[in-house]
Amino acid sequence: MTTHLTFYELLKQGFEEFTLITLFFFFVYMIINNVFGHLGFEMNAPGFTKGKFTRWLNTTTHHSMHHSHFNYNYGLYFNFWDKLMGTNHEKYHETFEKVTAKRAKQKTV
Per-residue pLDDT tens digits for 42-84: 989 999 999 999 999 999 999 999 999 989 999 888 888 899 9
Residue 86 is predicted with a pLDDT of 95
Residue 98 is predicted with a pLDDT of 94
Quickly count: other Cβ atoms within 10 Å of residue 58's Cβ. 23
What spatial distance separates the first Cα and last Cα of the chain, rounded to whole Å? 76
Residue 16 has pLDDT above 90, yes or no: no
Cα dihedral 63→65→67→69 (10° resolution): -140
